[in-house]
């Protein structure tokens, strides 16, 4: 027999049992054992399936909330980085900010601006900062497509191919993944590239969204046109 005090507590507050999933599951299991092995409790099976569906819905709900927070955090990062792009008063300070405060805000380990040049040898512009790399004409398209032809995307996310990553200098072997932003600097100018390198090989993957980086690239293009005028 049940202890009288326990029985009185249950009768006084039966809703406490309904609110406790572990207690309810124990009662359902005890009920199924009393039915025997030859009887199927359809109500119990239905409840089990409903619980499984509820668990899947809760997992989906958590995933949606997590993605929303990540998107919000990403938007805040890009917005802060754009504000920092607007602060420098000269081109040298602009390049210094790229590999300083802006790289830190975007949480990348290296940031490189690549400009193409038809001139033989290294351009004098390339001596301003290590952040700026001067490459021969055609380099940007080849690097974006890994030599397979004209790229179809303006933003490419991928793991770094060490033998094909000359833009990171001495840090080349330390880069695991990269985000490559193709830049259009206006009529009459060669293509350019903004490369965001990360030591984490999983930071930039092809499956990740690129909307925020495309917006950042469009703002960056306009600023570069101003600096090059």
pLDDT digits (tens, 9 = 90+) for 23-82: 777 777 776 666 665 555 666 667 777 878 887 888 777 777 766 666 667 788 889 999
Residue 76 lies in a domain: no
Residue 55 lies in a domain: no
Q: Kindly state the tokens that stand for 178.
A: 């990269």
**Contact predicate 196/228, CB 8 Å:** no
Residue 158 lies in a domain: yes
The share of the chain scoring above pLDDT 90, in percent, equals 28
Residue 18 lies in a domain: no
3-state secondary structure of 73: helix
The pLDDT of 156-161, averaged and rounded, is 90
Q: What is the pLDDT of residue 83?
A: 93
> Mean pLDDT score of the chain, rounded to an integer?
81
Residue 179 lies in a domain: yes
Residue 148 lies in a domain: yes
Residue 214 lies in a domain: yes
Digit-coded pLDDT (tens) for 88-132: 888 889 999 998 999 999 999 999 999 998 876 555 455 557 889
Q: Where are the beta strands (DSSP E) in the chain?
A: 110-117, 132-136, 155-159, 177-183, 192-198
Q: Please return the burial class of 168, using the count of CB atoms within 10 Å of its CB with bins 0-12, 13-18 and 19+.
A: buried
CATH number, residue 148: 3.30.450.40
Q: Domain total for the chain?
A: 1
Residue 217 lies in a domain: yes
DSSP single-letter state for residue 119: S
pTM: 0.67
CB atoms within 10 A of CB 47: 14
User: Range of 115's domain?
Assistant: 90-228
Q: What are phi and psi of 121, to 5 degrees?
A: 80, 180
Q: What is the pLDDT of residue 216?
A: 93
What is each CA distance from 29 to 34, 164, 203, in whole angstroms? 9, 62, 46
């Amino acid at each position: 027999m049940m202890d009288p005090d326990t029985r009185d507590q249950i009768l006084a507050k039966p809703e406490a049992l309904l609110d406790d999933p572990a207690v309810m599951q124990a009662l359902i299991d005890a009920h199924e054992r009393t039915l025997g092995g030859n009887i199927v409790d359809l109500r119990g099976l239905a409840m089990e399936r409903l619980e499984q569906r509820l668990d899947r819905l809760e997992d989906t709900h958590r995933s949606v909330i997590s993605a929303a927070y990540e998107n919000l955090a990403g938007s805040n990062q890009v917005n802060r980085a754009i504000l920092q792009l607007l602060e420098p008063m000269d081109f040298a300070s602009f390049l210094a900010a790229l590999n300083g405060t802006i790289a830190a805000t975007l949480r990348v380990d290296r940031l490189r601006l690549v400009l193409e040049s038809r001139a033989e040898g290294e351009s004098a512009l390339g001596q301003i900062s290590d952040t700026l790399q001067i490459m021969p004409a055609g380099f940007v398209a080849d690097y974006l497509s890994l030599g397979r032809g004209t790229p179809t995307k303006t933003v490419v996310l991928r793991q770094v191919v060490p033998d094909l990553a000359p833009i990171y200098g001495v840090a080349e072997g330390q880069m695991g993944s990269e985000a490559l932003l193709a830049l259009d600097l206006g009529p009459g100018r060669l293509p350019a590239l903004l490369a965001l390198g990360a030591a984490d090989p999983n930071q930039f993957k092809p499956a990740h969204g690129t909307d925020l980086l495309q917006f950042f690239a469009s703002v960056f293009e306009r600023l570069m046109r101003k600096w090059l005028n």
